[in-house]
Amino acid sequence: MNRKSIAYTGISLCSAFILVTFMLVVTSSKIWLTAFEVITMISGVFMVLLILFLPSSENEVTKPYRIVSVVFVTGNMILTNVTHFVNLAVTEKLIKSGINIPDYFQIGKWPSIEMAIDYLAWGMFMGLAFLASFMFIPKEKGYKNLKYTLLICGILCVSGFLGAMINENLWYLAPMGYGVGTIVICIELLVIEKISKDSIMTIKSS
């Protein structure tokens, strides 16, 4: 797996996530809920790979930020998969069997224990992973767009997390960061790869 395949995977996965989320909101169907749970768990794993494949500065000062970013994105993956697996394998099965599960134990309800963990994962942990990534991306001109996109994504995620404590609607800042923002990050990775490839071809031909 290389940076190019990671980027294409990210664009496809995020596009599928946005589509499934839209269908879930419109239909409230259990089928779309299951698809949402599965894609979200896969996305948690993907975000770890995305962070690992981001270009990194050779400056020794920035190396700790890469470690911090990996720690936070791994935390996001763990919390995400635990939360959505519990909802898929336990909560939904209990509801289907006729057991009355309180709203505060369900995904999609707020306030809810499962949603609070999910918000912590994708809001705070993913946001901090993006912000730490901003710190280790090279400062050279070719990486500038990627660097500041990561900063914006981080701010949106953390703002959504903190905002949810005040008004649930403010949470939707976060999906702009980790959803739409990730598509932008992947596109910028493809641009960087193309520029890098063109530079190598120019050097070889000269």
- What is residue 96's predicted lDDT score, i.e. its pLDDT? 86
Given CA atoms 65, 68, 70, 76 in this order, what sign does their dihedral have? negative
- In whole angstroms, give the CA distance from residue 206 to residue 202: 6
Under 8 Å between Cβ of 120 and 79: yes
Could you list the pLDDT tens digit for every one of the 206 residues in the chain? 789 999 999 999 999 998 998 999 899 888 998 999 999 999 999 999 999 999 998 888 889 999 999 999 999 999 999 999 999 989 888 888 888 888 888 887 888 899 999 999 999 999 999 999 999 999 888 899 999 999 999 999 999 999 999 998 999 999 999 999 999 999 999 999 887 775 555 555 55
- In whole angstroms, give the CA distance from residue 32 to residue 27: 8
Say what the pTM is: 0.91
